[in-house]
Copies of this chain bind each other. A is one copy, B any other.
Amino acid sequence: MFRPSALAVIGASEKQGKVGRVVLENILASGYKGTVFPVNPSYAEVFSLPCFPSVSELPEAPELAIVIIPAAAVQGVVEECGARGVKAAVIISAGFKESGREGYRREMELRQVAEGLGIEVLGPNCLGIADTSTPLNATFATKAPLPGKVAFMSQSGALCTAVLGWSEENHLGFSRFISLGNKMDLNESDLLVALEQDANTSVIAAYLEGVADGERFLDVTARVSRAKPVIIFKAGVTQAGAKAVSSHTGSLAGSENAYIAAFHKCGALRADTVEGLFMLAQGFSSQPPPSGPRVCVVTNAGGPGIITSDALERAGLSLASLSEETAKKLREGLPEAASVYNPVDVLGDASAERYRLAIEHALADRGVDSMIVILTPQAMTKASDTARAVAECAGGASKTVFAVFMGGQEVKEAEDILREAGIPNFSFPEEAVSTLRVMKSYTDFLSRPRQTWVRFDVDKGKVRDVFARVREQQRNELVEVEAREILEAYGLPVARTLMATNLEECIKAGREIGYPVVIKIASPQILHKTDVGGVVVGIENTDKLISAYEQVTANARKFFPRADIWGVLVQEMLPPSRELILGMNRDSQFGPLLMTGLGGVYVEVLKDVSFRLAPVSEEDVMDMLRELKSYWLLRGTRGEAPADIDAVIESVLRISQLVTDFPEINELDINPLRVLEDGDGCLAADARIVLEE
């Protein structure tokens, strides 16, 4: 598609204001070396090229068809293309899914036709494609992309045109420029595969509003990310998921957390703003990602140095501690008033040579992973000479070097010198720091070990049996006792519990388990038991058990007169413990989204939760727990003994295996998971499982 030896422009035209004219002009202006066949029954010649009335009358089969004709005629043309042996088409024409019901129907039909003919389609409703190394610019944008190493794909055609204007101003070059349009056939995953193989592309940047096939996206991106950075600006982040959910995990999950977890899993890098997307593209295409978090700042002014330090701390990066040896060399070479500690302040009157000395020594320091060189134009400042010095020093080092030459017009020439040397210049320190932060996270991804998943020995048959029983009863929500069976089958420790269908059984169960005990109402209709007085804790003897039994059953009948009451669960009373929540909500795009968090009734208030997509490794779970503020509760605060974190990790891994093995589980909550002191394990005290309907 990107390097066709011949292409047809179906709907080519010389008429002013016609998209067919702009596309053809762009193709010709781009220096495309293959054969161009204009196709249009109204002309014999277009821009001095022979024009053909139809695809079937072309002298040879082109490798690519660019289609720019009214929507209603597209299907016919695609059929002709198929008959003529064309294998790929870029359909620029609008009037499909984006334009309402009629267009939707048209697109569905077109898809079937194209599929049947084996034609790959980009679009419809797109701006076209460009490849600056072929070279080929088959878009109807008024600007052509500059050549470069960044491949950009966008789900919004309008954004493409805006980006072309912006990139010209900021001298950002592209290898390929792709407008995805309606993604009828080819989607972001297909393009990622194509871009992975393109030797001219070293960075992939994308604007996406959604992902066509979540699982394939995860697989493809995980592979491509290892070869080149994939940076994505995801729009529509805040839209709430449409599906109603009843679990804590479900209500906290949301599509935003699913995307964060998905990007984390596959190594896609998230840009927070459109501008950030391109700063990252610029950073990655010109500098190596930093090997660690330690940044050295060299500046000729204190203020911007402080701003940079603040930004580094906020970004989770650190100011490198320079070695005593480096400090000594700096002290020898710099004036007395200079600061030889980080930020290195070379003073307002710094010459290019003074900058050079500071940069050389600091870059040579083993404790420095990356550098930000700041310049503000002052009386003695030679911005361009300094830019040359920065370029020379950075060229010899394998470390990330960014420049923040502030001051607009006064540093324009210096900016050009820096750009030539592949050193991105940022107008403000914060931009350099946020770019560095994401580049550092790419290093983290690359150094992440390929994940291995523990498989525990479990009783899958038992789970199948329980699910079958639930289905038989036309239910999709499991009652607590069933959920407990599932957990036990997967080796999760559960609090000792007996089902009692009447008072007599209840008294027997109390004796068998041993006081103190807890009782809970058991009914398929009552899911949030504490809310209706369906739980009594700390029951110390038979007398109290009897009155508790009467109380919870009376409450259940009062609040749920039509509920099917099976009896009560009698459970061992656990020692004081820390409470977590473990859960899973199946995301419609990316599958099983696991959650850990601070448990108990406060989970939805405090929202101290973390997410990952299953399956997860031991390291993943450890990261999940570390992301929680309440991790410090597990570690033991203020003299408290640490909790059994290993037991929590194993529980999450077992849940991960369960929800991976059984895709029919839609929602799962263990709340609370009671975590005892280190060595004493943890116990699921209450569990809910909901199957897909």
Residues of B contacting A532 in the complex (Cβ-Cβ under 8 angstroms): 639
- Beta-carbon nearest neighbor of A607 in chain B: B629
Residues of B contacting A575 in the complex (Cβ-Cβ under 8 angstroms): none
Residues of B contacting A254 in the complex (Cβ-Cβ under 8 angstroms): none
Known: A273-B430, A637-B605. A209 touches B156 (CB 8 A): no
A301 contacts the other chain (Cβ, under 8 Å)?
yes
Residues of B contacting A159 in the complex (Cβ-Cβ under 8 angstroms): 301, 303-304, 376, 406
Residues of B contacting A302 in the complex (Cβ-Cβ under 8 angstroms): 156, 158
Residues of B contacting A167 in the complex (Cβ-Cβ under 8 angstroms): 408
Known: A430-B274, A629-B606. A406 touches B166 (CB 8 A): yes
Interface string of A409-441 (1 = CB under 8 A from B): 111000000000000000111110000000000
Which one of A212-220, A235-243, A486-494, A505-513 is at the B interface?
A235-243
Residues of B contacting A59 in the complex (Cβ-Cβ under 8 angstroms): none
Interface residues of A in 224-249 (CB under 8 A from B): 235-238
Residues of B contacting A499 in the complex (Cβ-Cβ under 8 angstroms): none
A143 contacts the other chain (Cβ, under 8 Å)?
yes
C-alpha gap A273/B431 in the complex (Å)? 9
C-alpha gap A237/B313 in the complex (Å)? 10
What distance in Å separates the Cβ of A241 from its nearest Cβ neighbour in chain B? 15
Interface residues of A in 525-568 (CB under 8 A from B): 528, 530-532
What distance in Å separates the Cβ of A580 from its nearest Cβ neighbour in chain B? 14
- The 8 Å CB contact of A377, one of B165, B274, B629, is B165
Known: A633-B602, A638-B528. A411 touches B237 (CB 8 A): no
Residues of B contacting A209 in the complex (Cβ-Cβ under 8 angstroms): 303, 306
Is B376's CB under 8 angstroms from A154's CB? Answer: no
- Beta-carbon nearest neighbor of A313 in chain B: B238
Residues of B contacting A22 in the complex (Cβ-Cβ under 8 angstroms): 379
A79 contacts the other chain (Cβ, under 8 Å)?
no
Residues of B contacting A19 in the complex (Cβ-Cβ under 8 angstroms): 379
- Residue of A17, A314, A408, A411 contacting most chain B CB atoms (<10 Å): A408
For the complex with contacts A165-B406, A165-B409, A275-B431, 17 further pairs of A-B residues with Cβ separation under 8 Å are A22-B379, A140-B379, A142-B377, A154-B303, A157-B301, A159-B376, A161-B407, A162-B406, A166-B406, A169-B409, A236-B310, A238-B310, A274-B429, A530-B639, A601-B637, A605-B633, A605-B637
Q: Could you list some 21 contacts between A and B, CB below 8 A? A: A17-B379, A19-B379, A100-B337, A142-B379, A156-B304, A157-B301, A157-B348, A162-B376, A162-B377, A169-B408, A237-B310, A238-B313, A273-B430, A274-B307, A275-B427, A601-B638, A602-B630, A602-B633, A602-B637, A605-B629, A606-B606
